[in-house]
A and B are shown apart, each in its own frame.
Chain A
Amino acid sequence: MIEIENVRKSFGTLEVLKGIDLTVNKGEVLTVIGGSGSGKSTLLTCINGLEPINAGKIVVDGTEVHAKSTDLNRLRQKIGIVFQQWNAFPHLTVQENVMLAPRKVKGMPKAQAAEIASKQLKHVGLGDKLDVYPGRLSGGQQQRMAIARALAMSPDYMLFDEVTSALDPQLVGEVLDTLRLLASEGMTMICVTHEMKFAREVSDRVAFFHQGVMAEIAPPADLFGNPKDPELQKFLAATH
């Protein structure tokens, strides 16, 4: 369970998160929508401790993320994150990209890591690309590789930060299909996205962020069908 309590976060004088309260349960798929600068991506990077917070707390399975005593490297093993930019390690093959963290972080033997990597890569439809360097892959394939790389650590939670925003339109579908697959398998996911159709289909709940505040959160049928917040109404009107 991810518990977010009154989290505030500023970059310099700009407050990007103004007191967020949110609980994500095991097995839940939460999507976060909102305009750019609404703080939704920042929240994700705070959840796995890549960014410090200024107030409040984030607790993942009983561990407070930003406590001094927390071993972040350990905590991050159970929270996978995939970014807008897929960030393939260009000097490693696709399989080596996926194997690296299990080997170095978990100390897994090479053969076992290779097996897990090939399993995860098949899972995201890249079973035939194991020995290829990422530079030879399309953006959609690289993004799926990044997903497999995060999954290879067998995380309990997956965070997706606008994973389709940097892709050519024709490549968005394949990545969303991968996310749908994960959701159907019961993975706990927080997806920051601009894909409204996707949000409506896969989410258990959808949260709307506006200027650092979570303005509304509801199951997709309610949030899209009967939006209450005036900013959300404007946002939905503009995106449709």
Chain B
Amino acid sequence: MLDTALSANDFLFLAKGAGMTIFVTILSVFFGTILGIIFGVIRYQLGPYWSAPLMIVLDVFRSIPLLIQLVLTYAFLGTVLRLGLSGLTVACIVLTMYTSAYCAEIVRGGIEAVPMTLRRASRSLGMTWAQDMRNIVLPLATRVALPSWIGLALGVMKDSALVYVVQVTELLKSTQILITRLQEPLLLLMICGAFYFLISFPVARFGGYLEKRWSND
């Protein structure tokens, strides 16, 4: 009933695109989260006044559309600094900064949600600031921040579709290439959407699972 020119090879081509989407997302979310934690702790520790310069930089990443950031960064690093970075590298750098900017606020909110009295209790046991952070504050902040963080990770996954502007062929770009060739936009977009869903769904479920497990404590 479904008369289509779509071949197994085309599916493989889409799967490769999906692989690229996953690769870019995992890398950016991983490093973006590490940076985000560092920025978030700095933001919390220094207070709004002293951390203002950092926050302004992060605000830039949050407020300029990703597409523009990608094109400008690519042009700047490539033609001005002549670093000769690949589009993929630029895509990962920009998405990492983009993730870290959002993550910093999530982390700060999580830290603020840990009651001061708990921190007093841990410090009164002789724990240092770092021990308190590592053993009490960050584990508890993680629980608070997890839903927002999952939302951020899924958002970055979908936003990573924009990296086609720096010549990275990820899932959506692969789909567009096939659409141009096969002229079957609806079917291909449906398949593309299904791929995105298959990537997101386990992440969202895993987040739900963790939340449920932690709420039993």
Bound CA–CA A85/B121 (angstroms):
10
A73 interface residue (CB < 8 Å to B)? yes
Q: Is A81 in contact with B139, judged by CB distance below 8 angstroms?
A: no
Question: Which residues of chain A are near B127, meaning CB under 8 Å?
Answer: 73, 100-101, 104-105
Question: A85-121 toward B: CB 8 Å interface, digit per residue (1/0)?
Answer: 1010111000000001100110000000000000000
A209 interface residue (CB < 8 Å to B)? no
A150 interface residue (CB < 8 Å to B)? yes
Q: Distance in Å from the Cβ of B139 to the closest Cβ of chain A?
A: 5
A180 interface residue (CB < 8 Å to B)? no
Q: Distance in Å from the Cβ of A183 to the closest Cβ of chain B?
A: 21
Closest to B128 in A: A73
Q: Is B120 in contact with A83, judged by CB distance below 8 angstroms?
A: yes
B122 interface residue (CB < 8 Å to A)? yes
The one of B117, B135, B214 in contact with A104, judged by C-beta atoms closer than 8 angstroms, is: B135
The one of A101, A133, A146 in contact with B126, judged by C-beta atoms closer than 8 angstroms, is: A101
The one of A73, A89, A133, A149 in contact with B136, judged by C-beta atoms closer than 8 angstroms, is: A89
- From residue 98 to 140 of chain B, which have CB atoms closer than 8 A to chain A? 115, 117-118, 120-128, 131, 135-136, 139-140
Bound CA–CA A149/B118 (angstroms):
13
A214 interface residue (CB < 8 Å to B)? no
Question: Which residues of chain B are near A68, meaning CB under 8 Å?
Answer: none
A74 interface residue (CB < 8 Å to B)? yes
Q: Is B217 in contact with A133, judged by CB distance below 8 angstroms?
A: yes
Q: Is B125 in contact with A87, judged by CB distance below 8 angstroms?
A: no
Query: Contact size class for B?
Result: 20 to 34
Closest to B124 in A: A81
Q: How many A-B residue contacts, CB cutoff 8 Å? A: 62
A77 interface residue (CB < 8 Å to B)? yes
Q: Is A83 in contact with B135, judged by CB distance below 8 angstroms?
A: no
B205 interface residue (CB < 8 Å to A)? no
Bound CA–CA A87/B123 (angstroms):
12
Q: Is B122 in contact with A89, judged by CB distance below 8 angstroms?
A: yes
The one of A48, A90, A133 in contact with B124, judged by C-beta atoms closer than 8 angstroms, is: A48
Q: Is A91 in contact with B126, judged by CB distance below 8 angstroms?
A: no
Interface size on A, residues (CB 8 A): 24
Q: Is B124 in contact with A91, judged by CB distance below 8 angstroms?
A: no
A76 interface residue (CB < 8 Å to B)? yes
A153 interface residue (CB < 8 Å to B)? yes
Question: A40-84 toward B: CB 8 Å interface, digit per residue (1/0)?
Answer: 000000001010000000000000000000000110110011010
- From residue 53 to 103 of chain B, which have CB atoms closer than 8 A to chain A? none
Closest to A100 in B: B135
Question: Which residues of chain B are near A37, meaning CB under 8 Å?
Answer: none
Q: Is A87 in contact with B117, judged by CB distance below 8 angstroms?
A: yes
Bound CA–CA A148/B121 (angstroms):
13
Question: Which residues of chain B are near A135, meaning CB under 8 Å?
Answer: 217
Bound CA–CA A105/B123 (angstroms):
10
Q: Is B217 in contact with A105, judged by CB distance below 8 angstroms?
A: no
Contacts A90-B140, A91-B217, A100-B135 given; does A73 touch B126 at CB 8 Å = yes
Give the one of B118, B122, B124, B143 with max A CB within 10 A.
B124
Contacts A91-B214, A104-B135 given; does A76 touch B121 at CB 8 Å = no
Taking Cβ atoms with an 8 Å cutoff, the residues of A that contact B are 48, 50, 73-74, 76-77, 80-81, 83, 85, 87, 89-91, 100-101, 104-105, 133, 135, 146, 149-150, 153
Q: Can you pick out 24 interface pairs between chain A and chain B where the beta carbons lie within 8 Å of each other?
A: A73-B127, A77-B125, A77-B126, A80-B124, A80-B125, A87-B115, A87-B118, A87-B120, A89-B136, A90-B140, A90-B217, A91-B140, A100-B125, A101-B122, A101-B126, A101-B127, A104-B127, A105-B125, A105-B131, A133-B216, A133-B217, A135-B217, A150-B125, A153-B125
